[in-house]
Structure 1
């Protein structure tokens, strides 16, 4: 009997020790995880050179980097922006002490699509940021500087200035498609309009509908044919005026078009407004057009990630937000 009691006491003691060990170990793991999170950019006012980022939209943390003598040698800003996934893209942007030149770009965290947005982790993508000046732009999308040497003319009766104008939706739709529209204006006339959308795999709806992988009806016009019909309407009218829709975004103005055209109208309106002012115009001629960035006369242009337009735009946004924040601070 005594032996059984003794065995029971020993067993109870062992269980108690194991339970205590598990609880203690869990606390250590949680503590370590919290510390690791701070290491990758959580705002910690106790870090040397820490900068207050309270109220700064999209800025996670920032700090001064100094040498042994206390001189500022660089600035580190951790910023985030919404990409294709629900989890934001978070990156650390290290600027030279001029608070403008990018010294290094590091990925902190993301949940972008493998094979597409995930390519942001590749050295070939990150290395192109080194040494360029902010703000940055996707190649070919920097603001035009001196239009006197560009293929841009004075507005005509329609009020359009020559150039290529590209616009995209702010986010993907509920089916995972990002809509985009490009117009080309030559001699004051809209000579080309392309309306399309792309899924997370980088496949264009125009292509998918043409090869039968995106089918709306068995016998009606394909999505691309309807998009082309909308484009032809604008080319003929040189405007979207008269392109009315019902409560579902459908129109009976253009024959054969049964899709909702709200996305088309929103983007066309933005592109045509840009064409009236010349804002964001890309040259229709030589690519040697002068783009400007600050006082340097050079632009910080980078190549986006192929097939990952939303991710690329998120990176552009967070880098430029980081620049806006640190340049204001450095002043």
Structure 2
């Protein structure tokens, strides 16, 4: 019987593991066989994580997280959780390799995946002109021409934020009206650096090694045109990875795991959640790490009171 099992890695999972291990809870982290380390493994340079004034590569940052968690005794299993039963006092976790583990507490840090356009070269150009995070990467596009794909609040927020750096920001939207709230729309319309390209979808990414432009397809006529760009920010939403637990813990309207206030406590006793799987708003490595700390402390307090 384990004291705590952490499902998922990334900044939230690894920080939870560091705190749980230092509390001598001997955590088991099941970190995925396919994507251990989470979304930062796909990121090139990280310049906004405190403590690294020169910046570092996303995979290097996650290697540091892993080494620190292991230093304090975290057991890391690179396997995939395929089934859980979290409703009883004993939590049951099954992996793809056929192993079954039991624990008194479980921390879910399975993250959220940015929605992709599904185009050739998209993964290849990720970090080389294609991004899903303006806060992370906007700084690299000073005086450049960039575009944001999307029509919701997130897309408008990213477009406005990116005008701090870029000389020109296009907003590419497949319809002729936005889904964003009126106030967010108006801020974008009022920004002289933003230009809207309506009824258009990105049909192709151009460039070898780094993005040089896109091919746009008119969603009404089907006509195609080229647009030269230095960067493309994709803001069409993200999907929290909740399929493991969606029928067991309470979710929010946006289908993130619901937690109590600023805690990590879910609707099930002994089950905690941290990181992007509970956060539709900030989605930063540092906020995920802080959330992982909260989850480990909540689990520790729960175990002490039981």
More helix by share: 1
Q: Same fold (TM over 0.5)?
A: no
More strand by share: 2
Return the TM-score normalized by structure 1: 0.28
- Structure with higher Rg: it is 1
Return the TM-score normalized by structure 2: 0.30
